[in-house]
Chains A and B, each alone.
Chain A
Amino acid sequence: MRWMWIDRIVELVPREKLVAVKQVSMAEDHLHDHFESTDRRPPMPIMPASLIVEGMAQTAGILVGHAEGFKEKVVLAKVSKAEIDLDAQPGDTIRYTAEIERFTPVGASTTGLIELFSWTAAGLSEPRVLGRVDLMFSHLDNNMGGQKFPEHNFVFSESFATLLSLSGIDSYPCPG
């Protein structure tokens, strides 16, 4: 399994906003354990909240990375706020909207809205607010500790290149 928690980028306003979607699928192994049936209730497949936060981290991380042409090693440094109010289940679509709040050479802060779409006989439902996740990212090479990291940008791997190319975003340098 690849550590990719978004399937497609649907909108990018450089240095401002990025919108991505994820389809929740029964093919994801963890949904069979989270939660399995008990004596008292049937199975309850629900996307773990931690992975929803990761989905926002990838959405916002790409937005922050794109701002400097993916030259910076952008790492999640802090979850400033995470509120998850609805469950996402197989067949649902999650839409992540990340916006840059502050951007500096050292790092960036982002705000994020997460929405849920469910399928009905009439088609996809109107979006409902699933939660909000605000994050902070550090540009590793400019971090305050002054530590040195490898030159190769290990953050934005080949899977991200595939995602960007699939989404029609072509300003991604090939991972070296």
Chain B
Amino acid sequence: MERSEIFEKVQEVLVDALAVDDDEVKPTATLITDLGAESIDILDISFKLEQAFGFKIAQGELFPEGVAQNPEYVEAGKVTEKGLGMLRERLPHFDFTAIEADPSVENIAEIFTVDALVNFCEQKLQAA
């Protein structure tokens, strides 16, 4: 499947799950800050991606859970080196520039972009 086709499907999923307009779903848009996704929307998005692409997404595969609550990964409001390493390993399809520049825990939300979601789906399809 072409990347543009994957983007279109991801866009359709996000428009449906988050009640946003097509033109808001730009590759650089972040799911939480720009598109207003809440935690239950993440589950909705996972379900809809599975439906759209026909692959299975395991719990926590797309969005690791409990990171902010783990003192090994987050200390004094900052993501630790260990936390960053875990995120890089778990989310190889994501861009960590923002969080590398400022490891504040709120910046975790910044790595969940539309582009990262397209990368994720592309890799899942290749692996299938």
**Chain A residues within 8 Å of B, Cβ to Cβ:** 77-78, 80, 101-102, 104-107, 109, 136, 138, 143-146
Contacts and interface: CB of A to CB of B under 8 A. Distances in A.
B40 A78 contact: yes
Contact of B69 (A77, A80, A146): A146
Interface of B: 17, 39-44, 47, 50-51, 59, 63, 65-66, 69
A102 B50 contact: yes
B39 A144 contact: yes
A78 B44 contact: yes
A101 B41 CA distance: 16
A136 B39 contact: no
Contact of B47 (A101, A144, A145): A101
B47 A77 contact: no
Nearest 4 A/B pairs, CB to CB = A77-B40, A102-B47, A146-B66, A144-B39
B41 A144 contact: no
Given A104-B59, A105-B59, A106-B59, A144 B44 contact: no
Contacts of B44: 78, 80, 109, 136
Residue among A80, A102, A107, A144 with most chain B CB within 10 A: A144
Contacts of A78: 40-41, 44
B65 A136 contact: no
Given A146-B65, A146-B66, A146-B69, A136 B59 contact: no
Nearest to A75: B40
Contacts of A106: 43, 59
A57 to B, nearest CB: 14
A50 to B, nearest CB: 18
A109 B41 CA distance: 11
A53 B56 CA distance: 30
Contacts of B63: 144
A98 to B, nearest CB: 16
Given A138-B40, A145-B39, 10 more contacts: A80-B17, A80-B44, A102-B50, A102-B51, A104-B43, A136-B40, A144-B42, A144-B43, A146-B66, A146-B69
